Amino acid sequence: MSTAPVSIGVAGVLGPATIAQIAAAAEQAGLYALWVNDTPGGDALAALHEAARATETLVLGTGVVPLDRRTPDEILIDAAGLPEDRLILGIGSGQASGPVLAAVRNAVDALRERTSAGIVVGALGPKMRTLAVEVGDGMLLNWLPADIAADQAIEAHAVAPGATVALYVRTALDEGGMPRLHAEAERYARFPKYAANFARLGVSADDTVLTPGAEGLAAYRASVDEVVLRAMTASDDAVEYVRFVERAGELAAG
Beta bridge partners of 34: 8, 60
Residue 91 — φ and ψ, nearest 5°?
Answer: -125, 160
Helical ranges in 120-177 per DSSP H: 126-135, 146-159
Report the domain count for the chain: 1
- Across residues 76-81, what is the average pLDDT? 98
Beta bridge partners of 230: 9, 170
Q: How far apart are CA 136 and CA 64, in angstroms?
A: 14
Among the listed residues 181, 230, 237, 178, the one whose alpha carbon sits nearest the alpha carbon of residue 14: 237
* CB-CB contact of 141 with 149 (8 Å): yes
Q: What share of the chain is helix, strand, coil (3-state, %, to 5)?
A: 50, 20, 30
Radius of gyration, alpha carbons of the chain: 17
- Asked if residue 2 has pLDDT above 70, the reply is no
Residue 1 lies in a domain: no
Predicted pLDDT at 33:
99
pLDDT bracket for residue 65 (50, 70, 90): very high
- Asked if residue 52 has pLDDT above 70, the reply is yes
Q: Average model confidence (pLDDT) for the chain?
A: 97
Residue 141 lies in a domain: yes
Predicted pLDDT at 98:
82
Q: Are strands 226-231 and 164-171 parallel, antiparallel or unpaired?
A: parallel
Predicted pLDDT at 95:
82
Q: How far apart are CA 54 and CA 25, in angstroms?
A: 9
pLDDT 10s digits, 120-179: 999 999 999 999 999 999 999 999 999 999 999 999 999 999 999 999 999 999 999 999
- Across residues 215-233, what is the average pLDDT? 98
Percent of the chain with pLDDT over 90: 97
Residue 203 lies in a domain: yes
Question: Which structural domain, as residue segments, surrounds residue 83?
Answer: 6-253
- Residue 159 belongs to domain with CATH number: 3.20.20.30
Residue 47 lies in a domain: yes
pTM reported for the whole predicted model: 0.97
Residue 85 lies in a domain: yes
Percent of the chain with pLDDT over 70: 99
Q: Are strands 59-62 and 65-66 parallel, antiparallel or unpaired?
A: unpaired
Among the listed residues 65, 56, 67, 3, the one whose alpha carbon sits nearest the alpha carbon of residue 35: 65
Q: How far apart are CA 122 and CA 53, in angstroms?
A: 26
